[in-house]
Chain A
């Protein structure tokens, strides 16, 4: 899925599948130029259309339906589909929450859904979440963070589990390390990931991020990067972090200062 494509000029609507999510791409001629039209459809749901409503059927609305988003192609005759993390943090709810005992140090894997970005001539023209884009609150209503909601299993394993990714190319694997530095057991029921600090590494079909360290302490939980894990041969960096750790640290420090002083 993650590669460059020619415009589907003579094949009707092109279908890109990522698990149960489908991204439709079509092309329209507009004067001397071309317009790329895109539409995303999630599993077990109707495609939003003003003309008709279909359920559980891959019925694509006509190209003049407002459900399609359009982008002028200019001189470009190709488009890329590249993976990217959502603009807001992702809060991954664990399907099976568990307690982490005091002083525990656990390694494992979690997964999150990336977004499919349509890039034309080096510019991102659209970004579609590959799972229905629900939001959730991480933290408390007075000072929490609005995140993208995602659900996943936690796999307590030191071994690479990249084969799991074959089931859904829209998933990125995160090797994680959980440490409890408090004196009480903590319930691990959700983990918040700041995708803007992470790379996407992969071989075109499977993807992985850097190792994440979650430290649970008396004052809360904090995510940081623990560094790169061993990668299989041939894996490259598909997407770079949008901000560096240092930048993020400065921004977070200022946010914290402003939150404390309300300045």
Chain B
């Protein structure tokens, strides 16, 4: 058995070399093909998959409009930066013309930007904002997304309006203080930190007395949020006035926990989320979710496609998309409550 291996090991490089020779022939002419690699941090994240679906939809439209072929390759990073880096390597090796990255770890963008720069392939980050210094490393690194603190302010605003309109309706134990729990996104994520900070700041700066009962991370996930909420319901029975969730998946998780604890729609605490994902909008319609903030999935996809279009045409990107500092394409957040729900359905 021992002697059998070496021969075949020799075969591999020989064949590889033999294959190198005929390489380099031209690609078939005709319709222009644009290859776009899209690396997602976690495809099962409802918001991210909505953006991805929008991207695919718009890419099909773009194909028709421009009579080109747009090859959109999606890759799911499954929450691991090293997996995502490998995927980016593959995109670049594969000859992608543009890569879009929904980065796993916002502090790790420098590695990806350097790779893209070495291959001279523009890189568009979206929804998860890389650190500013990293983005400044190369002129063809862009960011499409929304300002996290605005989401926090608007989310706080929903609660503020409800409290100011009828404090007694929110105040379950009638002590005049707004008791809340906070379901946070993954630790260290800037959206999680900023949404948490600004939602509460919006309340305190208007002099509303608040008391934090508990906060914990649920990693943006519905299941984890439901678990945390069940524990809190037992621990603070009848005291929780408001549940802030950094995103809708977690808000829905909190609702799951409350409903399975035997509450009905009327006795639910005031639960708010961020993102306005389709299931969350359905929950707003039902009245279980009191409000959310629309993170514009379609808008993000549209801006990304606009940038891609500019690269294809070779026109200056500033003409196609309004950019701050030549890098940032910002999308506004919008408040969604039962009052204006119809506009979003």
A, B from the same assembly: no
